[in-house]
Amino acid sequence: MPELPEVEIVRQSLHKRIQKKSIRKVIIRNRNLRLKIPSGFEGFLKDKKIIKVNRFSKYLIIHFQNENYCIIHLGMSGTIHILDKKKPLKFTNTSFYHSPFLPIKHNHVEFIFNNLKVIYNDPRRFGFFQIIKNRQDLEKRFKTMGPEPFSDKFNLKYLVNYFKQKNKNIKSFLLDQKFVSGIGNIYASEILFESKINPFKKAKRLNKKECLNIILNSKKILQHAINKGGSSIRDFKDISGNKGTFQKEFRVYQQDGANCKRSKCKGIIKKKFISNRSTFFCNFCQN
């Protein structure tokens, strides 16, 4: 599943290409995604002008005129492809998985513009589209989710209060979207390594310095990953043909058995499982 940096790369590509354009037609080839696409979907979006493409956590949000919105979630295998009639693109994939080229199968939704097509492809069909008809409903949609790592609300006071008397380990909290939105398995391991915190440590035992390190390193690592074009665990190339490079800088993720990359540390990177998710950490500097 894409994490916040990968979804942000998709957002940037979409915003650049479809901002201020109007949807001329919507074609649905398969309504049976995680949430079934309703019968009025095509008519609702037809001739709608796009103001901008935004993002919250791992959700794309297309803003239309008159405060209408379309939420897109990519699920496990969803990718968005852009086809330009005037200037054919060698690489159509805005996302980071699978082929950089438009697949033949599983193209479920098409947004048709004057000289542009946006195609949603999803072999496993875990992604979804959702229409939101006003700003109040949009805010309500994400009300139960925690703040993003980049938000001012993700601060020391928030963490200290949230962790009081909590027995759950800190790695599980970083993956809990009710606590913080957008951090997934890859970046949780990287954040905890950078913060020198054992992923199994109970949240209630974190001191203020450790909480502050989590906040600062969450922002730093996610922003760095965005700057590097996301993490190419699979064959990511954006619509310019640029491949994400952050995976070359993983310090613990998928590094089990390697020597710790921290200067002067003699530890070894270990792999264990927390809630059935692989967790990577140094057995020395994170103890």
CATH of residue 262's domain is 1.10.8.50
Task: From the candidates 11, 55, 58, 228, give the one annotated as an active-site residue.
Answer: 58
Task: From the candidates 2, 5, 100, 199, give the one annotated as an active-site residue.
Answer: 2
Distance of CA 166 to the CA centre of its chain: 26
pLDDT of residue 238: 47
The Cα–Cα gap between 138 and 133 comes to 8
Query: Does residue 126 share a domain with residue 18?
Result: yes
Asked if residue 150 is part of any domain, the answer here is no
Query: Does residue 161 share a domain with residue 110?
Result: no
Residue 62 pairs with which residues in a beta bridge?
53, 70
Query: Does residue 39 share a domain with residue 92?
Result: yes
pLDDT in tens, 32-67: 999 999 999 999 999 999 999 999 999 999 999 989
pLDDT of residue 231: 58
CA angle (219, 222, 226) in 5-degree steps:
130
Please state the domain count of the chain. 2
Query: Does residue 28 share a domain with residue 135?
Result: yes
pLDDT of residue 86: 80
Range(s) of the domain holding residue 199: 156-282
- pTM, whole model, 2 decimals? 0.90
pLDDT of residue 228: 78
Note if 3 is an active site residue.
yes
Residues in the chain predicted with pLDDT less than 70, given as ranges, are: 96-98, 230-248
Asked if residue 146 is part of any domain, the answer here is no
pLDDT of residue 92: 86
Task: From the candidates 166, 251, 261, 277, give the one annotated as an active-site residue.
Answer: 277
The Cα–Cα gap between 109 and 206 comes to 46
Asked if residue 149 is part of any domain, the answer here is no
C-alpha gyration radius of the chain:
20
Query: Does residue 66 share a domain with residue 160?
Result: no
* Neighbour tally for 209: CB within 10 Å: 10
